[in-house]
Amino acid sequence: MKKIQQLKNSKTMLGLISGSLLAGIPALTLSSVAIPVTQHNSSSILLSQVPSDGPDSPRESSPPPADSITPPLPEEQKPPVAKVEPVGGKVNVKLVNQTNANITYQVISDTKPRTLAGRSDVTLKDLKTPINITFQRSDRGLLRVTPQSSEAGLLEVNLAETTDLGADNIAMTIQENGNVLLN
């Protein structure tokens, strides 16, 4: 009988210990959460702003002045990957799909999205520079775009599949001077 009483007491004690541990676990995890705090020197901001209730209130959002937008420096721009000589400000672009997937392409501000079937080609004629063309594989795979010019006024663009994320291209720009850029 004594052993049964000791067993009941040990079960009760075990329950108390387990329960207190379970109750303490959330407190331990909550206390170990770090919250980053950034400090700002708000005194200089408060002193430099003048309260205003007029139409030019700083609370109103307005676009930045046009003269504040700075284009990237030449050394920050990507170099052209090819060059085509425009004829009369126009070029022909031959797209060659070397994949088995359909590719949707669009000449921005010139055509609606079109589909180029796998293992086929199309020539886009008399496109006025500058030209922006976008590409997307129907299977959402990566696409390597390789432009090359063999004659004045013609740019041949090979579209091949790739597994290299760094080689994936979705757009091509032909500038007025014939420089070809990829994005």
Specify the fold of 81-182.
Immunoglobulin-like (2.60.40)
Helix (H) or strand (E) holding 8: helix 2-31
The confidence score (pLDDT) of residue 176 equals 97
| Contact assessment for residue 163 and residue 151, using Cβ atoms and an 8 Å cutoff | no
| 0.75 exceeded by pTM | no
Is the pLDDT score of 157 beyond 70? Answer: yes
> pLDDT confidence of 48, banded at 50, 70, 90?
very low
End-to-end CA distance of the chain: 84
